[in-house]
Structure 1
Amino acid sequence: MSLASKLLPVFFCTALSACGHPTGVMQPVTLAIAKPQTAHVDMLVATTRQPSGDPRTLFNGERSPKPFMTEVSVSIPAKRPEGTVQWPKRMPPDPATDFAVTRVRQIDSIPEGRAWFRQHIEGGHALVFIHGFNNTYEDSVFRLAQIVHDSKMRATPILFTWPSRASLFGYEYDKESTNYSRTALEQSLRLLAKDPNVKDITVLAHSMGTWLAMEALRQMGIRDGHVDAKINNVILASPDIDIQVFAKQYAEMGAPKPKFTIFMSQDDRALAASSFITGRVARLGGIDPTIEPYRSRLERAGITAIDLTKVKTDDNLHHGKFAQSPEIVQLIGQRLMTGQPLTDSNVTLGEGVTAVVGGTVRTLGTVTAAAVAAPATVIENRPRPHPADVSETLTSGQIPQPLAP
């Protein structure tokens, strides 16, 4: 066995799994009469997972022939570093110090789901989060709660969680599970877009979940000629997608397209491992967007690429920076979701951060927190090209596949 093969389980365990996390956290806890100071995130969870039959876990990693919806409320302790999830060290969780589920209710019909959305409306904005490889149901619930809380976004959170066995050796099963779930995600997005209370939808996907997001949007584009207009923003964090495949997915999505933002990091060790087991094909989330031909292709297509290589977090494999860096997660909540530009003086990601807009370099601000200690680079092209230009630019073969380092 090669050294790289031996290191793969370590890579994925550190990057994406709940290694060492307790199980059974989905059983709701009762807050004491003297409630500790906590925040709460209410979310709607749609899943293609199979029910576990156990209220402590709700759903397992196997595939269900039909989707399910559940209302979940998560309590978040007051004193905690942003970008972190406080998993309980023992059960039951203590809401004063731990993330804790305080309410779970199954939703049995679409009208019931829409009623929940009306009760939790946040300016008509909806956020749909799709997790990555090797996640349990509770992993994805707690991560979305952390993102929503720390970003301070004003949006209704919706989690789409697909069947992951949460196994270090389940990469192929998980990948096929994303294919299994793409029609269910497409239908979920359609139902959400049809709701008159929904003004716009942001899709935020991480790692292997970006493949699922792209496949669902591609299917929608093929059926209708374009993605629903309410889906106006797609954010791909550390996308575990073959570069040429992404180009085809993007082109076949039709036009007009949502605004795309991609978080990349050349030191992402999890994507390096993914590249290794998929034939050393470069993953979209691991490229350097400042070099050619990537820079020109992305700019011409109107895709914003944010290079997080120099951003520092506690993530040893540099795969979850989008959620663990306070500045980045707030950028998602306060800027990208609402379509605000990244090129004015109010953006403060790190000292020396620059934006390349139509060949012009602009300074974005100075460091505001110790979590970001070095420059990041933003490439953005706000004008939309003609659809024909996009199709010509981002088609299979236009973006080469260099070997991963």
Structure 2
Amino acid sequence: MAKRSVALFLLLLLASCGHPGGVMTPVSASLSSSSITPTSTVDMLVATTREPSGNPATLFNGERSSKPHLTQISISIPAKREAGTVQWPKRLPPDPATDFAVTRVQQIDTVAQGRVWFRQHVHGGHALVFIHGFNNTYEDSVFRLAQLVHDSKMQATPVLFTWPSRAEITAYQYDKESTNYSRTALEQALRTLAADPDVKDITVMAHSMGTWLAMESLRQMGIRDGHVISKIHNVILASPDIDIQVFAKQYVEMGEPRPKFTIFVSQDDKALAVSSFITGRVSRLGAINPAEEPYRSKLENAGITAIDLTKVKTHDRLNHGKFAESPEIVQLIGQRLMTGQTLTDSKVTLGQGITAVVGGTVSTIGTVAATAAAAPVAIIEQPVTRKKPPRAANETLDGDLKQQTLTQ
């Protein structure tokens, strides 16, 4: 009963986190309360399996559409704000001088139009595809990606994939089924993006329940082709709300060669604690301690980088959005992971004095564990998995799982 009460309390806490809605109607930057206040603009392409709302203030609701939709959106970001935060307007229309504000919305009807947009906004051929998590409205995901892109200063073209979430704390199962509903659409979006000659490489970044959608789409792609599309170089899973055993199978079944995987975990993630309770007290991937066995060895064998954010402090009461709200982590994403750099230095210095301790082998992993208490960020960089010889005809998938699974 005590655990049930804690879970219910956390659900109520989640439900209490709100902000004004209906902010998608474009405003002019000239409406700013101060004409001399500088602002920045983030342009993004948004693909969605949500149903159109028929209201320009929301654009799309949380119900499921029979076909995907594509929209280009521009968001103005005020200069005076704390990094890692989204400045929601206190009243409508938003003031670009103080608030995040949508300045342009245009529906895209064909793939050709989407390619023209990408060609006009290309940054070195790098594309970032972001998939949001549970309990998100359309505008939640748009503003979050805009914040990530702006604060990280990443040189990549942002593409948002937003799936049908009812943005209700009691709709966990509906949201989970909506990710399943959307996995083919995400796979097709990734294939379309990869087919564009202006795209050199793709990073897939997913948060919370969106990591399930990302893994399912990549697994589905791997089953079709034998491997994930080669242009998908990196996959970043932040606070992954995935059963550890299921993740192991998804990872194996997407085939080889695989993209480079990085996971952000935190043992104090209250949202994942609730998810674990809802799913029958099954451990979630985003809550593991990567410095402990069996995870340490399993991550090493699989060539997965685990970044432990447990000691990182943000304003997030649930400790579920640290990857986006910590300025240092956002910088790490933009300056290293998004540019294909590996975390192989003995020490990686981030802004404001945060030191990331890096270990590369089992012999040095003890150093990571020992110094994690003093370092806000502990990073375990694992070697890339060597290509294995062809599987014998009588060899089963279980053989791979024994080497790569992350089960307890």
Instruction: State the TM-score, normalized to the length of structure 1.
Output: 0.92
| Alignment match, 2:138 | 137
Question: Match for residue 216 of structure 1?
Answer: 217
Q: Deviations over 1:257-299 (max 9, x none)?
A: 0000000000111001100000000000001010111000101
Q: 1:32 aligns with which of 30, 33, 39?
A: 30
Q: Which runs of 5+ in 1 are unaligned?
A: 365-371
Aligned counterparts of 2:196 and 2:84: Cα–Cα separation in 1: 32
Q: Distance in 2 between matches of 1:351 and 1:192?
A: 35
Q: 2:406 aligns with which of 376, 399, 404?
A: 399
The residue that corresponds to 1:368 in the other structure is none
Pair 1:284–1:106, CA change in 2 (3 A): same
Cα drift, residue 6 of structure 1: 4.6
Q: Deviations over 1:215-258 (max 9, x none)?
A: 00000000000000000100000000000000000000000000
The aligned amino acid for 2:68 is P
Task: Note the C-alpha offset of 1:346.
Answer: 7.0
Which residue of the partner structure matches residue 17 of structure 2? 19
Show the counterpart of 1:323: 324
Determine which of 334, 359, 364 is the counterpart of 1:361: 364
Please list the CA deviations of residues 115-136 of structure 1 after superposition, one character each: whole Å capped at 9, or x if unmatched.
Answer: 0000000000000000000000
Distance 1:30 1:9, change over 3 A: farther
Find the counterpart in structure 2 of residue 177 from structure 1.
Answer: 178
Equivalent residue number for residue 348 of structure 1: 349
State the Cα RMSD in Å. 2.3
Q: Distance in 2 between matches of 1:290 and 1:158?
A: 33
- The 5-angstrom pairing of residues 6-405 of structure 1 reads 6-8=5-7, 10-12=9-11, 14=13, 19-32=17-30, 34=35, 36-344=37-345, 347-349=348-350, 353-361=356-364, 374-387=375-388, 392=399, 394=401, 398-401=405-408
What CA distance in whole angstroms lies between the structure 2 residues aligned with 1:108 and 1:277?
A: 39
Does structure 2 conserve the Cα–Cα contact (< 8 Å) formed by 1:69 and 1:108?
A: yes
Aligned partners of 2:293, 2:346: CA distance in 1, in Å? Answer: 27
Cα distance between partner residues in 2 of 1:119 and 1:398 = 42
TM-score w.r.t. the length of structure 2 is 0.91
- Give, in angstroms, the shift of residue 387 of structure 1: 4.0
Judged with a 3 Å threshold, the aligned counterparts in structure 2 of structure 1 residues 11 and 163 are, in CA distance, closer, same or farther, namely same
Distance 1:84 1:242 in 2: 29
- d(CA) in 2 for partners of 1:302 and 1:161? 29
2:394 counterpart residue number = none
Matched residue type, 2:150: H
User: Following TM superposition, by how much is the alpha carbon of 1:342 offset from its aligned partner in structure 2, in angstroms?
Assistant: 1.4
Distance 1:400 1:346, change over 3 A: closer
Corresponding residue pairs, total: 392
Residues in 2 aligned to 1:69 and 1:89: alpha-carbon distance in whole angstroms: 29
Q: Is the 8 A contact 1:301 1:389 kept in 2?
A: no
SS at match of 2:155: coil
Please give the per-residue CA displacement for 1:126-166, whole angstroms capped at 9, x wherever unaligned: 00000000000000000000000000100000000000000
From the superposition, tell whether residues 335 and 12 of structure 1 become closer, same or farther in structure 2 (CA, over 3 Å).
Answer: farther
Tell me the CA shift for residue 30 of structure 1. Answer: 1.1
Unaligned 5+ segments in structure 2 are 392-396
Whole-angstrom CA distance in 1 between matches of 2:377 and 2:400:
26
CA-to-aligned-CA distance 1:284-338 (integer Å, 9 cap, x gap): 0001010111000101110001111111111111110000000101101111112
1:361 shift after superposition: 3.5
8 A Cα contact 1:354 1:361, kept in partner: no
Alignment partners' CA distance in 2, 1:18 and 1:126: 34
Q: How far 1:20 sits from its partner (Å)?
A: 2.6
| Structure-2 residue corresponding to 1:369 | none
Shift in CA distance, 13/152, structure 1 to aligned 2, threshold 3 Å: farther
Alpha-carbon deviation of 1:385? 2.5
Code of the residue aligned with 2:273 in structure 1: it is A
19-28 or 246-255, which moves further after superposition?
Answer: 19-28
